[in-house]
Structure 1
Amino acid sequence: MTTYPSCKFMECLQYAALKHRTQRRKDPQETPYVNHVINVSTILSVEACVTDEAVLMAALLHDVVEDTDATFSDVEQLFGPDVCGLVREVTDDKSLEKQERKRLQIVNGPKTSSRAKLIKLADKLDNLRDLLVNTPKGWTEERREQYFVWAKQVVDNLRGTNANLELKLDEIFRQRGLL
């Protein structure tokens, strides 16, 4: 049986595309940022076999409050409290220093719901796949390596969430000599 995305999912995809429309990744090709959130949702659906539409929608929106003018109120009004709650769980507090935000991802990861952990794992997987083949503009090799080390700490605190994602992440960590 073929399944199709719901109208709400497609509205969510369109909203993410609209909000991230002017943003670019830091890779040499300056990939449109929206590709990242689409990748995260696709990783969850295809590789982690997630069928929970709220999780897939929250994956599309996981950076929308953090990186655009969207608010939690906007997300809740448009996509409901369940999706908004997941987005809230995976959103960093941009009022904090970058190092503190990174530390909190390590510390708070285990305290989040299993659904939020799925989004975090897929987010790290997409970022690390990109980082394996691209050094972001303005990054040194040392900074790139530090990201892998930090991401492993985050992932280690999310283990037991999804074996498929964790195996794929471990392949990357093994390639980088972190396992």
Structure 2
Amino acid sequence: MNTPGAGILAVMPLHAISDVHGEEGLRQRLDIEKEKLPRPDRVEAALELAADLHRDDRYGREPYVNHLLRVAIRIVSHYEVHDTDVAVAGLLHDSVEDHTPELAGARGGSGTGAALAEVGERFGPRVAGLIASVTVPEPDPAGDKHVQYREHIATSLDRDPWARVVKLSDFTDNGVGILYATEPAMRHLATKYRPMTPIYRDLVNRPDTPLTEHVKQHIRDQLELAEERFRAILDTK
């Protein structure tokens, strides 16, 4: 697939890059953004691991790695966070939750703890800590899994401001991009995410969330757009 020059890719909306130029276009956009970081080589290593772990995974109509690429790009470009660890955590934010056995097995162990230890060995304890904060544990089958998900996110992100940045990018990608999902996943995701919007709005407004005010306003606008889309999906008979 032919992709445009760097100047055009640098200003294209991320979902437009996905739609028109696919994974290759997103990889090229990340190449542009990672040069703003002090350790771009670590971003490349994280992308290689993420692409390998999620190689058979899909995100609606596209490879799952596209979602991970957008999350990392948004952190650097839209959120103006030039912190290598946070960008790396964006690429790997679903790695432990979705691929525990592969990561844990690399250490000859099992379970989330071993998987996080493997991430820590490769990318450092801060990255592992960020991923731990956004990793949702297996729900208790006796309770409502959506309620448990909301409670975990609210509690975990309450104590980890930098993990909020990763999760805000993740949620924004899921919410604004929900129209790219396939049915019946679209309605399922809207049901899951709609009650989360007030939680993320509260988190982005907190004084200790490490983002500038104009970035926070951008995120608030994106949350409003996501909420409009959830409402349109769920209120349509």
TM-score by length of 1: 0.83
Are residues 1:65 and 2:109 paired?
Answer: no
The structure with the greater share of residues assigned to helix is 2
CA displacement at 1:174 relative to structure 2: 4.3
- Determine the structure 2 residue equivalent to 1:150: 195
Return closer, same or farther for 1:22/1:105 CA change in 2, 3 Å cut-off: same
Output aligned runs, 1:19-168, within 5 Å: 19-25=53-59, 27=60, 29=61, 31-68=62-99, 69=101, 70=103, 71-94=115-138, 96-97=140-141, 98-131=145-178, 133-139=179-185, 141=187, 143-160=188-205, 161=209, 162=211, 163=216, 164-168=218-222
Q: Is contact 2:133–2:157 with CA below 8 Å preserved after alignment?
A: no
CA displacement at 1:59 relative to structure 2: 0.7
TM-score by length of 2: 0.64
Structure scoring higher RCO (CA < 8 A, sep ≥ 6) equals 1
The amino acid of 2:63's aligned partner reads P
Q: Is contact 1:12–1:57 with CA below 8 Å preserved after alignment?
A: yes
The amino acid of 1:18's aligned partner reads D
Measured against aligned partners, the alpha-carbon deviations of 1:114-149 in whole angstroms (never above 9, x if no partner) come to 110011110000001221x234343374x3442342
- Determine the structure 1 residue equivalent to 2:30: none
Matched-pair identity in % = 26
CA displacement at 1:33 relative to structure 2: 0.7
The amino acid of 2:185's aligned partner reads W
Segments of structure 1 that go 5 or more residues without pairing to the other structure are none
Measured against aligned partners, the alpha-carbon deviations of 1:139-178 in whole angstroms (never above 9, x if no partner) come to 374x344234223133133122341322222233245559
Segments of structure 2 that go 5 or more residues without pairing to the other structure are 1-34, 104-114, 233-237
Q: RMSD across aligned C-alpha pairs, in angstroms? A: 2.4
Return closer, same or farther for 1:130/1:58 CA change in 2, 3 Å cut-off: same
Are residues 1:173 and 2:219 paired?
Answer: no
Return closer, same or farther for 1:58/1:145 CA change in 2, 3 Å cut-off: closer
